[in-house]
């Protein structure tokens, strides 16, 4: 679609949408949000770019094939599940690494987050695979 | 060793993820896919060994206790099914190395096949009804894409029938799950086994009938089988063979699981219906097969007829019958898939699947003829092959239960099966070549390897059937005593609550 308004807005919006998708992903740990909805917002951002600039430009923007994102997401999800088994707990049991920082702060890294990142990537990959196929087919 | 229970799902899932990442590299894909399937075989064999040694294994995913989390359970039936899936997967994967063209490989055959394995193994191992639905969907989506990969006209036509009928089944399945959840407040199968006897038997039976129709469509029983012969002959043989062996059997497995563990309140009613369905399935399958000329179609209708034996065995609901069902499942999966694989080789030799256009194969490929004979006679139940013991167990169980008409039908259908197999033998192998061509090219040895291995397995299960019969007996004993399954899942704390004893609160804290 050749529209100056759409292209200009898209360039502004895509950054905000992608940042917002990461915000949703991280927020989803304790509050409404999460990998699925975050992934949908990120896919919507790329979809907007796809409509405004065409499939070739969107492919360049994405750098990797959507199906590779799907694979990477699946891999992240399974690996997050397997981490539970390293400590002889059942598959998919959450594992935590807690770092103490100066000033009474702490950073928690968890396999749950990795799993959510996996969901995020699978959703982005799946939605974009369909959209690209429609756009190019 | 609770980790072992999830490995049959995790191994193909990991393989699928890596295969998706390296989509371009054909050689790498072929090596990884075959290697992962071989690893799956090892893992499944170890799982069955562990289950026979230690009894039913259960694992609560994520550490969330049953009945709230998702449970994976491996009893004898599940472990046997997972192992036979791995055997067939390896056979098909090796055959596929030659049979699947580079174009289909590039469109993602290898990752899809692994996803299909994920779905099948998940369905066999899950202990939760909703989770079972999810695995069925994973399996359905993967199989639909595999069925239509290549997008020829016949494939799309078959694919539409396949997916639309199966989606109806899924909807019925989901409706039944919704009703059951609204009714009991739980979907964990072990928990359901405990609470269902407390509820009104009439309502439970009503829901059970919904499940019977849903699984019946998936298992291709009379009168809901028509999607199967309409679609199974369209994809390449490596895919057809695996579908023919495994997919309907997942439906049969679900029927066996639910109608031994959950819906046993009114056996006289539900299992009599199953008996009639089984008998009619046997007869319609075998009669319609007799009218076909395409080898793949004859075999497809025979899948339906063999499902009938399995349903009859379930319906008889005695220890001998259920042991027969398990033995029969293993036997028929191997024999049926191998016949498909052999049909693929005859097609390569003669250029057609149509019996009217091929002939003289006994002269040109005597070894292949022997392989065919072993599988075909095995399917028909001629001693000393595996089918003989399978049929013997089921028919003996029918006699024991004094179900005379089913015994008669089962024997007659066995004869008609033999008729269909001799028909293929007569036209394709025995008769002189009339209006067909025998192609000069010799099929690759990779095509023969899996068919030889499976034919040997049919022989082995016939001549040395003792171990499998022992395993089937163990599986039947577990199926007829649901309290063992319940105890493995919900823990020994609830073991003192007998089934049907009418105690309300069981697994601490259910509202």
Hey, are the CB atoms on B63 and A72 less than 8 Å from each other?
no
| A126 in reach of chain B (CB within 8 A) | no
Q: Do the Cβ atoms of B59 and A67 come within 8 Å?
A: no
3 state SS of B499:
coil
Q: Is the pLDDT of residue A63 over 60?
A: yes
The three state secondary structure string of A90-117 is: CCCCCCEEEEEECCCEEEEEEHHHHHHH
Cα B444 from Cα B351, distance rounded (Å):
15
CB-closest option in A65, A75, A90 to B62: A90
Cβ count within 10 A of residue B244: 29
Band (pLDDT 50/70/90 cuts) for residue B62 is: confident
Determine the distance in angstroms separating the CA of B13 from the nearest CA of chain A, rounded to an integer: 7
pLDDT tens digits, B211-270: 999 999 999 998 888 889 888 888 999 999 999 999 999 999 999 999 999 999 888 899
Distance CA(B63)–CA(B56), nearest Å, equals 18
B384 preceded by cis ω (within 30°)?
A: yes
Please answer whether residues B131 and B70 qualify as being in contact, where contact means their C-beta atoms are separated by less than 8 angstroms. Answer: yes
CA distance B390 to B266: 27
Q: Is residue B501 part of a domain?
A: no
Partner residue facing A91 (CB), from B3, B18, B111: B3
In terms of Cα–Cα distance, which of B324, B244, B319, B313 is closest to B278?
B313
Integer Cα distance of B488 and B486 in angstroms: 5
Cβ-based contacts of B491 with chain A (< 8 Å)? none
Highest mean pLDDT out of A50-64, B53-67, B457-471: B457-471
With respect to residue B271, please indicate whether it lies within any of the assigned structural domains. yes
Residue whose entry in the numeric block shows the structure tokens 């105890």: B487
- The mean per-residue pLDDT over the stretch B100-105 comes to 90
Q: Which residue of A has its CA nearest to B24?
A: A68
Q: How many CA atoms lie within 13 A of B477 on its CB side?
A: 10
Contact A93 B63 (CB under 8 A): yes
Which of A68, A81, A90 to probe the B interface (max B CBs under 10 A)?
A90
pLDDT tens for B21-58 read: 988 889 999 999 999 999 999 999 999 999 999 999 99
ipTM strictly over 0.85?
yes
- 3-class SS at B52? helix
Give the percent of chain B with pLDDT over 70: 94
- Cβ-contact A66, A125 below 8 angstroms: yes
C-alpha span between B371 and B365 (Å, rounded): 10
* Distance from chain centroid for Cα B216: 13
| B333: containing domain | 3-489
If you write DSSP's letter for every residue of B279-330 in order, what string do you get? HHHHHHHHHHHHT--BHHHHHHHHHHHHHHHHHHHHHH-SHHHHHHHHHHHH
Which residues in chain B have Cβ-Cβ distances shorter than 8 Å to A93?
A: 62-63
- Domain membership of residue A126 as a residue range: 4-136
Of B13, B63, B108, Cβ closest to residue A90: B63
Question: Whole-model pTM?
Answer: 0.92
Q: What residues have CB less than 8 Å from B54, skipping those under 6 apart?
A: B1
The answer to whether residue B506 scores a pLDDT higher than 90 is: no
Distance CA B109, CA B192 (A): 38
Q: Say what percent of chain A tops pLDDT 90.
A: 51
Peptide bond into B223 cis (omega under 30): yes
Residues of B in contact with A92 (CB under 8 A): 61-62
The tens digit of pLDDT for each residue in A28-59 reads 878 888 899 999 999 999 999 999 998 888 88
A81 interface with B at CB cutoff 8 Å: yes
Residue B431: pLDDT band (50, 70, 90) is confident
pLDDT at position B291 is: 87
Compute how many other C-beta atoms are within 10 angstroms of the C-beta atom of residue B216.
26
Residue A94 to residue B62, Cβ atoms within 8 A:
yes
pLDDT, position B493: 58
Torsion of CA B243, B27, B13, A44, to 10 degrees: -100
pLDDT value, residue B136: 96
Domain count, chain A: 1
Q: What is the pLDDT of residue A100?
A: 83
B23 SS3 class: coil
Confidence class for position A95, pLDDT limits 50, 70, 90: confident
In the prediction, which pLDDT does B467 show? 93
In the three-class reduction of DSSP (H, G, I as helix; E, B as strand; rest coil), residue A64 is classed as coil
CA pseudo-torsion sign B476, B224, B386, B122: negative
* Cα–Cα distance list, B139 to B99, B166, B435, B453 (Å): 22, 11, 41, 26
Number of domains in chain B: 1
Q: How far apart are CA B295 and CA B427, in angstroms?
A: 10
Share of chain B above pLDDT 90, in %: 72
């Amino acid at each position: 679609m050749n529209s100056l308004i759409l292209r200009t807005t898209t360039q502004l919006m895509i950054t905000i949408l992608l940042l917002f998708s990461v915000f949703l992903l991280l927020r989803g740990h304790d509050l409404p949000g999460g990998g699925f909805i975050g992934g949908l917002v990120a896919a919507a951002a790329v979809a907007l770019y796809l409509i405004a600039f065409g499939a070739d430009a969107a492919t360049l923007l994405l750098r990797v094939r959507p199906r590779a994102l799907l694979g990477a997401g699946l891999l992240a999800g399974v690996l997050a599940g397997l981490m539970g088994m390293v400590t002889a707990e059942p598959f998919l049991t959450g594992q935590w690494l807690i770092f103490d920082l100066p000033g009474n702060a702490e950073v928690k890294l968890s396999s749950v987050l990795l799993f959510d990142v996996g969901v995020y990537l699978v959703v982005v990959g799946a939605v974009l695979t369909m959209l690209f196929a429609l756009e190019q087919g | 060793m609770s980790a072992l229970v999830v490995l049959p799902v995790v191994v193909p899932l990991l393989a699928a993820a890596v295969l998706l990442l390296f989509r371009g590299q054909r050689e790498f894909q072929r090596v990884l896919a075959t290697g992962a399937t071989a690893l799956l075989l090892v893992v499944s064999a170890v799982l069955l060994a562990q289950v026979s040694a230690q009894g039913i294994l259960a694992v609560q995913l994520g550490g969330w206790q049953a009945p709230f989390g998702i449970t994976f359970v491996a009893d004898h039936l599940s472990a046997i099914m997972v192992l036979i899936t791995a055997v067939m997967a390896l056979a098909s994967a090796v055959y596929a190395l030659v049979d699947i063209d580079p174009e289909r490989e590039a469109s993602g055959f290898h990752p899809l096949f692994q996803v299909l394995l994920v779905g099948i193994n998940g369905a066999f191992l899950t202990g939760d009804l909703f989770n079972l639905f999810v695995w069925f969907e994973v399996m359905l989506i993967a199989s639909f894409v595999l069925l239509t990969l290549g997008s020829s006209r016949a494939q799309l036509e078959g694919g539409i029938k396949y997916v639309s009928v199966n989606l109806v089944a899924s909807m019925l399945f989901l409706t039944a799950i919704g009703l059951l959840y609204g009714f009991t407040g739980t979907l964990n199968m072990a928990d359901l086994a405990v609470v269902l006897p407390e509820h009104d038997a009439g309502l439970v039976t009503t829901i059970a009938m919904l499940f019977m129709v849903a699984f019946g469509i998936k298992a291709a029983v009379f009168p809901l089988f028509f999607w199967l012969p309409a679609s199974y002959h369209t994809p390449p043989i490596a895919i057809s063979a695996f579908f023919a062996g495994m997919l309907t059997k997942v439906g049969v497995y679900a029927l066996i699981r639910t109608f031994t563990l959950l819906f046993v309140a009114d056996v006289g009613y539900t299992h009599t219906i199953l008996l009639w369905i089984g008998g009619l399935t046997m007869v319609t399958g075998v009669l319609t097969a007799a009218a076909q000329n395409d080898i793949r179609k004859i075999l497809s209708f025979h899948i339906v007829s063999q499902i009938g034996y399995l349903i009859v065995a379930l319906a008889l609901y005695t220890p001998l019958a259920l042991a027969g069902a398990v033995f029969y499942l293993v036997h028929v999966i191997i024999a049926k898939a191998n016949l498909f694989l052999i049909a693929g080789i005859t097609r390569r030799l003669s250029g057609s699947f149509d019996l009217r256009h091929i002939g003289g194969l006994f002269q040109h490929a005597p070894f292949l003829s022997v392989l065919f004979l072993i599988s075909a006679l095995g399917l028909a139940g001629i001693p000393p092959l595996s089918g003989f013991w399978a049929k013997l167990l089921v028919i003996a169980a029918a006699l024991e239960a004094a179900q005379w008409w089913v015994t008669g039908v089962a024997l007659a259908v066995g004869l008609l099966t033999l008729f269909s197999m001799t028909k293929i033998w007569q036209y394709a192998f025995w008769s002189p070549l009339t209006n067909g061509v025998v192609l000069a090219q010799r099929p690759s040895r990779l095509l023969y390897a899996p068919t030889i291995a499976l034919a040997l397995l049919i022989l082995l299960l016939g001549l040395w059937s003792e171990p499998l019969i022992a395993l089937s007996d163990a599986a039947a004993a577990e199926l007829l005593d649901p309290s063992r399954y319940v105890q493995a899942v919900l823990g020994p704390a609830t073991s003192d609550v007998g089934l049907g004893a009418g105690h309300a609160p069981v697994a601490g804290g259910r509202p």
